[in-house]
Amino acid sequence: MSGRTVTAGVLLIGDELLSGRTQDANLQAIATFLGALGVQVREARAVPDIQEEIVAALNALRGRYDYVLTTGGIGPTHDDITADSVAAAFGVPIAERADALAVMESHYGRALDRPEDDNRRRMARIPDGASLIVNASTGAPGFQIGNVFVMAGVPNIMRAMLEDLPERIEGGAVIRSLTVGAAGLRESDLADGMVRVQDECGVQIGSYPYFTEKSRGVNIVARSTDEAALARAGDALEDLVRAAGGTPERS
Amino acid sequence: MSGRTVTAGVLLIGDELLSGRTQDANLQAIATFLGALGVQVREARAVPDIQEEIVAALNALRGRYDYVLTTGGIGPTHDDITADSVAAAFGVPIAERADALAVMESHYGRALDRPEDDNRRRMARIPDGASLIVNASTGAPGFQIGNVFVMAGVPNIMRAMLEDLPERIEGGAVIRSLTVGAAGLRESDLADGMVRVQDECGVQIGSYPYFTEKSRGVNIVARSTDEAALARAGDALEDLVRAAGGTPERS
């Protein structure tokens, strides 16, 4: 780990995310995971299962951020075109790889040589030059090529694959955060004070109002790589909430 | 409504989506809402509260899709920079607008002329040429400029704003879908058959495996604008699941 800023883009692949059928849960999991490694997600995109869309988005993101993580489209069916699309984006060939097949055969406990295994073996197709990402959940591996990590879309499989990433990622400064809740207050009661605290403490402050049938309030989030500055900001935000007539809840 | 294909892009704005703090719920709500109007979401992006990022993403999306819907960043605090960014993207001025202020004052039941109202009045800043989007929830309006709809990020406010959109959107063909569940089966058992049904029935088929501690299975989703074709595909998929030894559950 170093103090430099290390960034990532996230590419969510799948028609189901854009049709409304599926609620993505992977972006938040990835952002939280990378944040702890000192990698900041700066952009996310969701694209359909269309090769030219995947290629264009991947090439935009991998040129721009230190790392790119993709989810979705690496299963055995016709709509799983991510591996081929990633190979196309990198301009490298793709074919069934012996190491990937061996991993899968080990997981299944038998040779994948029956006629009905043909589709399953699609999951052993890996772009040239990629290294495998272990999938402790279902066997079929993800892969890393260059600065791109290609993972499954099913959330529990994706999270299992994340466990194989830390040693491949060189993180930078870790951004810490704290939240000061201000139940009953409005953002506009706190707006000027938040800017003042942001400037005086040198931290980044975000303001997140909430509204339910029973209550309303604001959560003020301070973020910084500097823990001392963050602690000062927390104290100042508590004072701000009190001055506005609220009872701060720090977490 | 017509039979043409009408598309949309979604731009989710906010640091909190990329830090892992907040789980986005707006993309799915927007996709479902637009789908019923005959508008297909083709891409979504999440960007931080940085003007140049918002401008670049918005200009990319609004040039490419029939409609763009944005969420987030239109509140009263320093990190709410969406309205200014949208004005910059369109190259138009932005200032407090009398109609927006009137809507807010009506909601608050008083003139917003106290010193502490200065931040609140930031929410009446609207780009030149935009029309207001009603916010029945908290008063402060969203706005439409060109093919872009700018809405709040708080999910219940965003959903309230969606209610003001249908008459402004000319939808095309509505894509219908059906799901055939195949509990206990694997994607690879069904892969060839799905391609055959897709080709024979002229519908689009997606395959979504699930894995829990207790069970596994596949949901096969068929999508089409042609209800008769969809019904035939449903029958064919049920046959496919039965042929693979499963019990189809159609929904």
CATH code assigned at A232: 3.30.70.260
Q: Give the model confidence (pLDDT) of B196-215 as tens digits.
A: 999 999 999 999 999 887 88
Of the candidates B168, B194, B218, which is a domain's last residue?
B168
Chain A stretch 83-112, residues whose beta carbon is closer than 8 A to a beta carbon of chain B: none
**Distances from the Cα of A8 to the Cα of A49, A58, A73, angstroms:** 22, 12, 20
pLDDT at B2: 61
B109 and B188 both lie in a single domain: no
- What stretch of H or E contains A193? helix A187-201
In DSSP terms, which residues pair with A26 in a beta bridge?
none
A25 and A129 both lie in a single domain: yes
Mean pLDDT for back-to-back runs of 10 residues, chain A (251 residues): 86 97 97 97 98 98 98 95 98 98 96 91 97 93 98 96 96 95 93 95 94 89 96 97 96 93
Q: Give the model confidence (pLDDT) of A22-74 as tens digits.
A: 999 999 999 999 999 999 999 999 999 999 999 999 999 999 999 999 999 99
How is residue A110 annotated by DSSP?
S
Alpha helices, H only, A37-117: 51-62, 82-90, 98-108
Query: From the CA of A191, how many Å to the nearest CA of chain B?
Result: 5
In DSSP terms, which residues pair with A144 in a beta bridge?
A131, A149
B41 and B164 both lie in a single domain: yes
In DSSP terms, which residues pair with B206 in a beta bridge?
B221
Check which CATH number belongs to the domain holding B113 and give it.
3.40.980.10
Looking at the predicted structure, is the pLDDT value of residue B180 above 70?
Answer: yes
Record: contact A207-B75, CB cut-off 8 A: yes
pLDDT at A1: 47
CB burial string B86-111: b at 16+ within 10 A, e below: bbbbbeeebeebeebbebbbebeeee
Q: Which of B18, B30, B69 to mutate to test the interface with A (most CBs of A within 10 A)?
A: B18
ipTM (interface pTM)? 0.93
Domain extent at residue B194 = 176-250
B162 and B206 both lie in a single domain: no
Taking the whole predicted model, whether its pTM rises above 0.90 is answered as yes
Sign of the torsion formed by the C-alpha atoms of B26, B29, B34 and B37:
negative
**Residue B114 counted as domain residue:** yes
Domain tally, chain A: 2
Cα A121 from chain centroid (whole Å)? 28
pLDDT at A116: 81
A18 and A137 both lie in a single domain: yes
- The beta-carbon neighbor of B209 closest among A41, A42, A154 is A154
Mean local confidence (pLDDT), B108-122: 92
Looking at the predicted structure, is the pLDDT value of residue B28 above 90?
Answer: yes
CA distance B108 to B112: 8
